[in-house]
A = this chain, B = another copy of it.
Amino acid sequence: MSDSKRITLQQAAEVVKNGSSLTFSGFTIWRRPFALVFELIRQQRRNLHLIEVNGGPHTEFLVGAGCVDIWESCWVGHELYGKYGANLSRKVANREIIVEDYSHAEMMFRFAAAAQGAAYAVTQTSLGTDIHNPEYDMLGRAGLRDGKRIAKHKYLFADDPFYGAGSQVLIPAPKVDIAVMCVQQVGEEGTVRVNGQYYSDPEAARTADITIVMAEEIVPEEYLRRNADINTIPSFEVDYILECPFGAHPTGMFGRYDVDGAFLKDFYARTRTQEGFDDFAKAWIHGLDHISYLEKLGWPRMLGLKANTALNYSPRATKGGK
Interface residues of A (CB under 8 A from B): 109, 112-113, 116-124, 147-148, 151-153, 156, 160-165, 168, 170, 172-173, 175, 195-197, 229-230
Question: Which of B112, B153, B195 lies in contact with A162, CB distance below 8 A?
Answer: B153
Distance in angstroms between the alpha carbons of A160 and B160 in the assembled complex = 16
Knowing A162-B153, A172-B163 are in contact, say whether A116-B109 is a contact too (CB < 8 A). yes
Smallest distance from the beta carbon of A161 to chain B beta carbons, Å? 6
Which B residues touch A197, using CB under 8 A?
A: 229
CB distance B116 to A168 under 8 Å?
A: no
Given contacts A120-B161, A152-B164, A197-B229, 14 further A-B contacts (CB under 8 A): A113-B122, A117-B124, A118-B121, A119-B122, A119-B124, A119-B165, A120-B162, A148-B163, A151-B162, A152-B163, A153-B162, A195-B229, A229-B230, A230-B230
Which B residues touch A162, using CB under 8 A?
A: 119-120, 147, 151-153, 156, 170, 172-173
CB distance A196 to B229 under 8 Å?
A: yes
Which B residues touch A173, using CB under 8 A?
A: 162
Of the listed residues A122, A124, A156, A196, the one surrounded by the most CB atoms of chain B closer than 10 A to its CB is A122
Question: Which of B118, B148, B153 lies in contact with A161, CB distance below 8 A?
Answer: B153
CB distance A168 to B119 under 8 Å?
A: yes
